[in-house]
Amino acid sequence: MLWVLVALGVVASVHPATTAVVRWADDRRVRAPWRPRCVADTHDLAPADVVPVWSWLARRGTCRTCGEHIPGSLPLVEVGVVVLLAAVAWRHPGPVLVLLLPVAWSVVVATPIDLARMIIPDRLTFPLAGWSVVAATGLALAGVVGVGGVGGVGGLEGGDWADWRRAMLVGIALPGGMLALSLAFQLARGQVGMGMGDVKWGISLGVAMGWLGPWSVVAFLVATVLASGVVAIVLLALGHGATARFPFGPYLAVGTVVGLLVPADVVRRLLL
Residue ranges binding Zn ion (CB under 5 A): 38, 40, 63, 65-66, 68
Nearest Cα neighbor of 30 from 131, 114, 129, 109 is 109
CB of 82 vs Zn ion, minimal distance in Å: 23
Angle among Cα 94, 99, 101 to the nearest 5 degrees reads 80
Residue 206 to residue 87: CA distance in whole angstroms: 20
CB of 19 vs Zn ion, minimal distance in Å: 12
In angstroms, how far is CA 135 from the centroid of its own chain? Answer: 15
CB of 40 vs Zn ion, minimal distance in Å: 5
* 48: phi then psi, degrees, rounded to nearest 5: -65, -20
Residue 244 to residue 144: CA distance in whole angstroms: 49
Residue closer to Zn ion, measured from CB, 37 or 166: 37
CB of 72 vs Zn ion, minimal distance in Å: 16
CB of 41 vs Zn ion, minimal distance in Å: 9
Residue closer to Zn ion, measured from CB, 39 or 254: 39
Residue closer to Zn ion, measured from CB, 40 or 172: 40
Residue closer to Zn ion, measured from CB, 49 or 163: 49
CB of 204 vs Zn ion, minimal distance in Å: 32
Residue closer to Zn ion, measured from CB, 40 or 226: 40
Residue closer to Zn ion, measured from CB, 73 or 111: 73
Residue 230 to residue 223: CA distance in whole angstroms: 10
3-class DSSP state for residue 188?
helix
Q: Which residues contact 35 (CB under 8 A, 6 or more apart)?
A: 44
Q: Helix count (H) and strand count (E) of the chain?
A: 11, 0
